[in-house]
Amino acid sequence: MDLDLKGKIALVLASSDGLGKAVAESLAKEGAVVVLSARNEEKLKQAMNETKAAHYEVCDFSHANATTALVEKVLTKYGRLDILVTNTGGPKKANFKDVSNDDWRNDFQSLWMSPVEAMKASLPSMEKNKYGRILMITSIAAKEPLEALTTSNGLRSGLAGLAKTIVNEYSHAGITVNLLLPGYTSTDRIKSLNLSEEKIKQMVPAGRLAEPCELADLATFLASKKGAYITGQSIAIDGGVIKGH
């Protein structure tokens, strides 16, 4: 299936490894001009070779306005931005009573403000060009709280409401906004937990971990013209973990 992504300019946040890297690779395979971003330059260089991305920019999403400056660099270099994929690492585990106010502020910047700042900087270009795809990679915690992931549960769930708001304001310009909610996926973070096969089967109805490419290929479809009528949605890629509707 030709997704007609050749030449589209795509920026993928937190793309030096894990899900972000998988999305970048999938987009690049379809001919998109992909810009990687993360805080570790050595890992970015390696990821650029492995994904066939076109460019990378070092960016620390924990700093205020960092993603604003990142998007501006991409716009300066390429003249437009067609696809924005926001993504952040998972915050540390803690029960509500153990989360400090500083923890909340830090995670608010990383989980909430970094995508907000990136979207605010990207939307004018997308609106001008009558084409835009925004994909926010969050977590199944956005729909169903996970134990001791307090800040993630609280902050990620609000992004769905924000997406609906942006949809109402920008759909006229051919812009879509969707959230991808990964479940237990075979990334380095999950592998470090050394979960047994039996434990995975207890946790996931599908009986296995997801492969990063399974989320990435869905992201690439949604980023294409064929995904033009899918917007404002929170789509779980979780093997059946979420129990609610």
CA 97/CA 100 separation, integer angstroms: 8
Distant-in-sequence, close-in-space partners of 202: CB < 8 Å, separation ≥ 6 = none
Condensed to tens digits (0 to 9), the pLDDT of residues 84-124 reads 999 987 788 899 999 999 999 999 999 999 999 999 999 99
Please say whether the beta carbons of 14 and 88 come within 8 A: yes
Give the other-Cβ count within 10 Å of 181's Cβ: 23
* Mean pLDDT score, 222-241: 97
Pairing type for strands 132-137 and 55-58 reads: unpaired
Task: Tell whether the model's pLDDT for residue 177 goes beyond 80.
Answer: yes
Domain extents in the chain: 9-237
Condensed to tens digits (0 to 9), the pLDDT of residues 136-175 reads 999 998 898 888 889 999 999 999 999 999 999 999 999 9
Encoded tokens for 176: 């879509």
CA 57/CA 48 separation, integer angstroms: 11
Does the 9-237 domain belong in CATH 3.40.50.720? yes
